[in-house]
Structure formats: structure tokens, C-alpha cells
Copies of this chain bind each other. A is one copy, B any other.
Amino acid sequence: EKNFFLIAGPCVVESEALLEEVAEKVYGICKRLGIPYVFKASYRKANRTSASSFTGLGDGTGLHLLKKIKDKYSLPVTSDIHAHEEAAIAAEYIDILQIPAFLCRQTDLLIAAAETGKIVNVKKGQFLSGPSMKFAVEKIKNAGNEKVMLTERGNTFGYQDLVVDYRNITWMKEHGTPVIMDCTHSLQQPNQTSGVTGGNPGLIGTIAKAAIATGADGLFIETHPNPAAAKSDGANMLRLDLLEGLLEQLVKLRKAVV
């Protein structure tokens, strides 16, 4: 039947050149492989472990650069928002408002996002089960917005690890919403003494293949031409030149599933 969709881009808006490089490359790959593509970059990082970490270029600049990508490639774009008053502002620039996992229970934020009329993509908290995301879906639908998506990003497994429970893909699809696998943040290794969250990008393929096999509708993959030099999430992002080979395998797998 139809293919999975892809939400991809660098973790944070570092520069216009970076957005342009990633968007152009991924746009071409997705066009060739028949994958609907949503460009992603955060215009602000509001919950870095350490206050001294990079948080963005400023909200206005970040949103403006996202809009440029959107217009140039005719792509939907997405970013996360962190406070209810950001929802209406961000909605002028972006197509999908992403609710961070730590904030998925904040009713005011969910409602403000819902009221923009944009698609709202709620990331499942590391402390929540798939079935309990029903209540997040209801908060948004009750605010008059039926366009909800849910994203799996792993659950707390001891202090310094996350585990992806694929039962959650099955359980969240029962809420009647598209379900996305976040292949990047699921591999985080939190609570490092350094104050910098770790990761394991060598396992992105494992996480993505299991998601497609179990019926995920979309994948979220952060990618960067040089992760080691990235200003956020460098430990987890997929090197841009590895994306195409991975997507080819996943498209083949998808055809065997649907």
C-alpha cells in the first residue's frame, strides 16, 4: 500500500547553510524512494541537561529559516514547542507542532497546540505507557483538533538507558492516530555525569526496522553531515551519507508489511 513518511533534519537550527544542506539531500532521497518527507529542526532547545548548552539562534531567526526551507522545497516543516504561548507564534511558520516527551502531560500546552488547528505530534513521555497516551489524544481532540500523531521515543530503563517497547506501536495505533518511531532519541543514554546525553547511532537501523515491521506509520531520524561537530544530540544523529542506504532497506521492508 502506501509508504511510511519520514520526519528528518538536524536536531537544532544551527545555521541556514546546515538546513539547506540537509533539506536538499534528504528531499532528493525521499523523492526517489517515494517517501513523504517532513523537514525537522528545533528552533529552540528548552530542556538541555546543562544550562550552558547551545539552545538556538533565537526563536525568530529559527522559525524564519524553517519557513524558508518549507517554501523552497514545498515541504511541511516541524519543530517542538515548550510553552503554551509559543503555540500560536510557531503555527505561523510550521505545519506540525511537536510536544516534547517531558511535557506530554501539560494540559495547557496540549490545548494551546490543538487550538492552532495545526497537526499536533505528541511524543510519549519516557515515563508513560502507550495505552495511557489515550488521554493526551483526548485532550487535543476535546479542544477541537482531530489531527493528532503520537511518537514513541523509548522508556526509562534504569538511570542511563532507554528501551523501546514495540508493544507501544501496537497499543498506540489502537488510539486511531498515526504512530511515529523516533529512532534518534530512543537511543539516548541519559543521566551521564558529563551533563551531555550519550547515544548509540550504530543501532538506528535496529530501531527503525523493528518499527516498520510492527506497523509504524512514520519514522523520525535526526541527521547531520557531521554529527561529531553538531551543537546538540551529536551522540545520536545519523551521519547524512548513511541515510539513503538505510531508507532503501526500510522501503523494501515496508512493502513486505502492508
Contact = CB atoms under 8 A, between A and B. Distances in A.
A108 B127 contact: no
Contacts of A108: 46, 82-83
B164 A161 contact: no
A53 B129 CA distance: 19
Contacts of A193: 131-132
Given A129-B191, A252-B256, A255-B256, A167 B203 contact: yes
A157 interface: yes
A257 B161 CA distance: 27
A85 B142 CA distance: 25
A74 interface: no
A170 B203 contact: yes
Contact of A257 (B131, B164, B203, B253): B253
B46 A107 contact: yes
Interface stretch (A1-9, A21-29, A206-214, A223-231): A206-214
Given A47-B107, A50-B135, A209 B213 contact: yes
A106 B160 CA distance: 19
Number of identical protomers: 4
A42 to B, nearest CB: 14
A252 to B, nearest CB: 5
Contacts of A47: 105-107
A171 B83 CA distance: 31
Nearest to A132: B191
Given A46-B108, A102-B105, A161-B158, A206 B170 contact: yes
A60 interface: no
Interface of A: 46-51, 55, 82-85, 102-103, 105-108, 111, 125-129, 131-132, 134-135, 138-139, 142, 155-161, 163-167, 169-170, 190-193, 195, 200, 203, 206-207, 209-210, 212-214, 252-253, 255-257
Given A51-B107, A125-B127, A157-B165, 9 more contacts: A46-B108, A50-B138, A51-B138, A85-B85, A102-B125, A132-B192, A163-B165, A209-B214, A213-B213
